[in-house]
Structure 1
Amino acid sequence: MALNRLSEETSPYLQQHKHNPVEWWPWCQEAFEEAQRLDKPVLLSVGYAACHWCHVMAHESFEKEDTAELMNRLFINIKVDREERPDVDTLYMTALQELGEQGGWPLTMFLTPDGMPFFGGTYFPDKSRFGKPSFKDVLVNVARVYAQEKETIAQNTAYLKQRLTPRLNYGAAPEFSEEQLAAIAAKFIGAIDPTNGGLRGAPKFPNTTIFQFLWRAGLRYNLKTCIEEVKNTLLHICQGGIYDHLGGGFSRYTVDERWLVPHFEKMLYDNALLIEFMTEVWKETQSDRLKTRVAETIGWLKRDMIVPGGAFAASYDADSEGEEGKFYVWTAREITDILGHGEEAAIFAQTYDVTEGGNWEGKTILNRLKALALLNGGEERAMDECRAKLFAERERRVKPGWDDKVLADWNGLAIRALARAGDAFAQPDWIVLAADAYGFVKSRMIENGRLFHSWRDGKLKGPATAADYANIISAALVLHQVTGEPRYLDDAVEWTAIMNRHYDAEQGGYYFAADDTSDLILRPLSASDDAVPNANATMLQNLADLYTLTGDAAYLKRADGLLTAFQGAAQTMAIGYTGLLSGALTLISPQSIAIAGDRAGPDAAAWRRALAEVSLPGATVQWVNPDENLPASSPAFGKKAIDGKTTAYICFGPRCSEPITDPAILKDRLKEDRAVSVQVAASPV
């Protein structure tokens, strides 16, 4: 009988595979020692609980005795949850891409017994199709090459080792200029789908980091096309099938170019990033649609994603009862049985694309892509009532699988988003949600002074990555600005010191793994974004904020070094480095607003409303109580309330405005002062 070693693992994804006939090992040193003892190659399979194609490959191959027999005889088999060990996933996904393959999950990599990759792919079918060989053929051929063609293996591993070894500096490059950043943003417009929004083609991902940069650059350089493309993208995302119109929350992506057909899995990170981005765009547009989607998505987080103790779970699966999307889709008959045949039901069907034939495999994915505009107030209220009835019926269905592990980096994104949304929309309960999740991370995910990446069932798993620290630091900095509590700033300072000590890349930036993470062949180093902003991009903003908030010039020096280390790569492959580009916008001219006055005083709400009606991404906001002062190095040092009135000062770099004692004037001045006049080059780098 196969010895499957996954039964004691806490990961829901690994638990899904504990009854496979495959002799799975978790990621551990003992597995590689066994491979060395038997001189067998390692088969590394990486996936996650909400991954549809991971389930498909499991059903087709890992649950089959004949395939498992080949795997067990020819390989040492290791199963990894990419969400629990993102450092392992990052390393080997990069290796796959260096082999010229497109990344994705499940990730299927073949390694030597010392962990060096030599061949790989993603999903392999049980029978040859989709232009891919069968998984069993792959197993046999890879084992043959490993046994008989040692020179080929040595060449592949040597090439990949050279390609994977981090370069601490990407070569000399000119410093970013305002003109260059504006030109990069203008160039990106050619990659945007002018009809549906998002990047051209399919599949369609939200690509929040890219569109955040376009928004920032559009506001800063008066690039109206950038601003309009962002609005159009969010419009289609908010009205498309990627959004759950009954329960709130967004799926990870759609397979089509119209945002209609999602893969249905819901990830914490996507929703956190979209909440934050929609909030920022709402500040400028005051869009009722964005306001509603933010509230509904936070409602989903509050209802379905909180684990005992207040942190947020990782994801919901795409599948239920063995079928993709079964929980979410409807037939016209089901909807009629619930809503009836009246006028409101007819309006609902027209608005949400309900037809007898359906819009996906004979079923209906609710969407408003054919009715993008809001209806009148009475009709929208009627639609709310219809959706509530359908939601109540849907709650009776078997729900998709819930991955309830807590990830520090994704919780950092959610905490930051909730704090910013709570502040902008004057919803203090959202800020409480953020503070509760932050308290969970601080109380349950730290051991011996060090953060861990994952928590489930009281057990910590995975060493913290740079993304864990970067996102929690960012969350602490936002909570400090929103609440005024010094403890959050103290935490950010302490955690940044840990990053500087254990993740420092010497010539600039931060390694993804700590210097005492002992089970990796190499420590990844990059500033390119994935589905989430890169840790180095997040730290660039964090360091700029820390400089503004503490006055310590060491943070500014480190930020300059980080940008210098990666700006060559960013200038060469800009679309992969938009998080870093957004940080560069901050570093070129740090923006801060100092408000001298009582943040709990009777007129504070008017000032908060003014700040909530203008988008200033990357800016810091500091309230200075009458008995306080900003650091001596701050451009707003010594700024005081005028004649006992709450007084604001707008600071761009080292310059601060004259005192402003009227919130309406503050809003107008912020919009005037944030823009920079530049000549946009026709052919940017």
Structure 2
Amino acid sequence: MTLPARNLLAEEASPYLQQHSDNPVHWRAWSPAALAEAKESGRPILLSIGYAACHWCHVMAHESFENDTVAAVMNRLFVNIKVDREERPDIDQIYMAALHAMGEQGGWPLTMFLTPDGKPFWGGTYFPREARYGRPGFIQVLEAVDKAWREKQQSLAESADGLTAHVEQRLAGAKGKAVLDRDTLADLAGRIDGMIDRDLGGLSGAPKFPNAPFMHSLWLSWLRDGQTAHRDAVLLSLEKMLAGGIYDHVGGGLSRYSTDAEWLVPHFEKMLYDNAQLVRMCNWAFAATGNDLFRIRIEETVAWLLREMRVDGGAFAASLDADSEGEEGLFYTWRQEEVEVALGDDATSFFRHFELAAPHGWEGKPIIRQSEAQQRQGVADYAEIAPLKAKLLAAREKRIRPGRDSKALTDWNGLMIAALAEAGRSLARPDWIEAAAKAFAHIVAAGKDDRLPHSMLGAKKLFPALSSDYAAMTNAAVALFEATGDPAYSDHAKRFIDQLDRWYQDSEKTGYYLTASDSGDVLIRIRGDVDEAIPSATSQIIEALVGLSSLTGDPDLWEKAWTTAEHAMGRATQQAYGQAGIVNACALALEPLKLVIIDKPDSSSLVPVANRNPDPRRIDIVVPVGAETNRPLLPGGVLPPTDRPGAWFCTGQACLPVVTDSAELEKLLRRG
């Protein structure tokens, strides 16, 4: 079939694709129809992958895709397909892996040239319209690719076949299972620890990302093996990034990464997933240290989330853009006189606690940050500076806001729902748990034929979901069950796993694919093993299976979790660092922790102890004294008595004697 010779993105559910609907380029969304058009025309595909908050995606759009001359060349030579990587991470991972296999560094926008049947033969990332930065101009690239395709089509097709086979082996292949042992996590954590910047936190060098999967590895190493150096590396990293410009000191929330080694100049886009993981990490850090810095940053970040990121129905938007009025960071940065106008006589107090910094080469206004001493003092003086932040926030609200990508992604929402439920328990914020429950209900209600969507934008929904969606929502359901005790959440979790098994499990029942079995528009059906800024789909699946099997005591579910973990580890051993999430999840499978508490709901002494001592390895189940329904099984099929308060703490298949004293339980749950 031949699609209309015009841009077809206006009706798409992705704000990123809609941003390109006025381009003179004849963009198509990724679809069977677009792929069929390429095959019928014999023209290669120009695939452009990006996302709404991506600064360099905007630059390339303004320079090239909005330019009539560039668009004319694109329309004449290629079938042009635009993909939102957040809507289709499966497609993004395939072609990003192909770019890496070519020896190129990845990033977005991703610009790939494909054969008419979708196989990659050449690519890059950002190309300027005119040659600069050591890169050729985009028209020059387009014409060179066209010339190569016309003159060397056979050899390019053979190269594309080989490259596709390589990517399939890496992303979809089976490597056999590996024995799960304690040394794997210890080895990974030791190698990550060797990469830590001891002065500035995070990994050495620049740019600096929060890198939650690596931080998780270090935290698990401390919890399990008592490696205090690994705990301290996480705490240092959190403290440094929370003082830097990567953290929004006025409005709360974390930007995606820092362009420098000091956490000062971020790419100012704010992603839902980064902030979900920040809330979780700060919750663990606050429990471990009692440092109010972490509590304050959780409260500020959740306030930002509920103020700026909620969409109709209660779910959460994907991201906020870096740019406003055509300038990166303009919304978030301040000149000294702007602060002084907003605060008046209080500006002196503000500048005791914060500084404005503008590094060499930065063309925008200065960025708010804190020194180490200012951060400590700011925690002590928070009652004094909170009203000043509120005044600056009110002044900032009058500015032209960055764009918001308002699509709700199921897996990212699952991460945030779990984080909100956990932090709500720890910090005694039932309103946060309620917000998590509302988001969860909205996503479940958006389902069709008992299947979840991957993405929602108003009434528009993208089906089918990915395996990461079912895993993240299972983990969210377990977290909400722990927070509320409502068995409806465990029922939801069971149904999610049933759907995961039906649509994503491999034929040998050793693991899961990222895409559903009825997803017919992918070149390769990949596993979803590789971490990005968030843990991989496979790692989230293992965590979900382990958590739900602990919750239910279902031995078949536990066997499935163990088999999935063994085979995932067999694949992960082929990678150096890209699959930390799998190692972390397998560590949970090795030593799952379960805490069953029987207590009086109106005068509980044991439940608050569990709430203020969160542990990512542990599933908590609370049952009212006297209850006979929904009584959880202890390992070995033992039912705990419910006639009096008590707590049973279990590791794997072994449970300690019942604990009835809150101080004793506190001692048991705290890592000394």
In 2, the alpha carbon distance for the partners of 1:131 and 1:580 equals 38
Superposition deviation, residue 2 in structure 1: 6.2
Distance 1:531 1:539, change over 3 A: same
Q: CA deviation at 1:566?
A: 2.3
Q: CA–CA distance in 2 between the matches of 1:26 and 1:169?
A: 28
Answer whether contact 2:255 2:271 (CA < 8 A) is retained. yes
Partner deviation per Cα, 1:49-106 (whole Å, 9 max, x = no partner): 1110000000110011111111011101111111122222222222222222222111
SS across alignment from 1:601: helix
The change in CA–CA distance for 1:172 and 1:503 in structure 2 (over 3 A counts) is closer
| Counterpart for residue 578 of structure 2 | 576
Distance in 2 (alpha carbons) for counterparts of 1:35 and 1:647 = 66
Partner residue in 2 for 1:151: 154
User: What does residue 109 of structure 2 align with?
Assistant: 106
Q: Offset at 1:215?
A: 0.4
1:182-193 equivalences in 2 (<5 Å): 182-193=186-197
**For this pair of structures, how many residues does the alignment match?**
665
Aligned twin of 2:185: 181
Matched, 1:607 2:606: yes
- C-alpha deviations, 1:24-72, integer Å up to 9, x for none? 1111222222222221101011111111000000011001111111101
Aligned ranges 1:119-518 → 2 under 5 Å: 119-166=122-169, 170-171=174-175, 174-340=178-344, 342=345, 344-354=346-356, 360-361=362-363, 363-369=365-371, 371-375=373-377, 379-444=381-446, 446-507=447-508, 508-518=510-520
TM-score after normalising by structure 1:
0.93
Q: Which moved more, 1:174-183 or 1:543-552?
A: 174-183
Deviation at 1:171, TM superposition (A): 3.4
1:561-572 to 2 correspondence within 5 Å?
Answer: 561-572=563-574
**CA 1:496/1:362 → structure 2, altered by over 3 Å: closer, same or farther?**
closer
Contact kept? 2:352, 2:374, Cα under 8 Å = no
SS where residue 354 of structure 1 aligns?
Answer: strand
Range that drifts further, 651-660 or 548-557: 548-557
Structure 1 gaps, min length 5: 676-685
Task: Say if 1:413 and 1:148 are closer, same or farther in 2 by CA, change over 3 A.
Answer: same
- For 2:23 and 2:168, locate their aligned partners in 1 and report how far apart those are by CA, in whole Å: 35
Partner of 2:627: 627
> Relative to 1, partners in 2 of residues 1:594 and 1:632: Cα closer, same or farther, differing over 3 Å?
closer
SS in 2 for 1:192: coil
Q: Distance in 2 between matches of 1:380 and 1:492?
A: 40
Describe the shift of the 1:154–1:21 C-alpha distance in structure 2 as closer, same or farther (beyond 3 A). Answer: same
CA 169–55 in structure 1, closer or farther in 2 if over 3 Å, else same = closer
Q: CA deviation at 1:502?
A: 1.0
1:537-584 CA-to-partner distances (Å, cap 9, x unmatched) read 011111112221222212222222212212134334342222111212
Larger relative CO (CA 8 A, sep 6+): 1 or 2? 1
1:636/1:617 CA distance change after superposition, 3 Å: farther
8 Å contact from structure 1 (residues 331, 358) kept in 2: no
Change over 3 Å in CA distance of 1:84–1:524 after alignment to 2: same
Amino acid at match of 1:591: L
Instruction: State the distance in 2 between where 1:200 and 1:317 align.
Output: 27
Q: CA deviation at 1:661?
A: 0.7
C-alpha change, 1:574 and 1:219, in structure 2 (3 Å) is farther
- 609-618 or 310-319, which deviates more: 609-618
Residues 192 and 214 in structure 2, CA contact (< 8 A), matched pair in contact too: no
CA distance in structure 1 between the aligned counterparts of 2:619 and 2:109, rounded to whole angstroms: 40
Give, in angstroms, the shift of residue 170 of structure 1: 4.6
1:294-332, Cα deviation, whole Å (9 max, x unpaired): 011100111111111111111111011111111011111
SS in 1 for 2:234: helix
Local SS of the residue matching 2:80 = strand
Contact 1:44 1:108 in 2 (8 A): yes
Shift in alpha-carbon separation, 1:615–1:10, aligned structure 2, 3 A: closer
State the alpha-carbon separation in 1 of the partners of residues 274 and 359 from structure 2: 31
Query: Does 326-335 or 618-627 show the bigger shift?
Result: 618-627
Displacement of 1:372 in angstroms is: 5.0
2:627 partner letter:
D
What is the alpha-carbon distance in structure 2 between the residues aligned to residue 632 and residue 420 of structure 1? Answer: 23
- Quote the Cα distance in structure 1 between the aligned partners of 2:523 and 2:380: 61
Q: 1:681 — aligned with what?
A: none
| Rounded Cα–Cα distance in structure 2 between residues aligned with 1:491 and 1:166 | 34
Amino acid at match of 1:115: G
Task: Give 1:29's aligned residue.
Answer: 32
Please give the root-mean-square deviation of Cα atoms over the aligned residues, in Å: 2.1
Give the 3-state SS of the residue equivalent to 2:198 in structure 1. coil
Q: Tell me which amino acid in the other structure corresponds to 1:552.
A: D
Could you say which residue in structure 2 is the equivalent of 1:14? 17
Q: Which runs of 5+ in 2 are unaligned?
A: none
Residues 370 and 653 (structure 1 numbering): CA distance in 2 closer, same or farther, change over 3 Å? closer
1:89 and 2:75 matched: no
Q: Alpha-carbon deviations, 1:171-226, whole Å to 9, x = none?
A: 35652322342232122211111111111111111101110111011121011110
- Relative to 1, partners in 2 of residues 1:72 and 1:377: Cα closer, same or farther, differing over 3 Å? closer
Equivalents in 1 of 2:360, 2:302: separation in Å?
29
Identity of aligned residues (%): 42
Report the alpha carbon displacement of residue 613 of structure 1 after superposing the two structures with TM: 3.6
Whole-Å separation in 2 of the counterparts to 1:294 and 1:353:
22
Q: What CA deviation, in whole Å up to 9, does each residue of 1:231-283 have, x standing for no partner?
A: 00000111111111111111111101111101100111111111112112211
**How far is 1:481 from its partner?**
1.6
SS in 2 for 1:313: coil
- 1:630–1:637: 8 Å Cα contact kept in structure 2? no
CA contact (8 A) 2:314 2:435 kept: yes
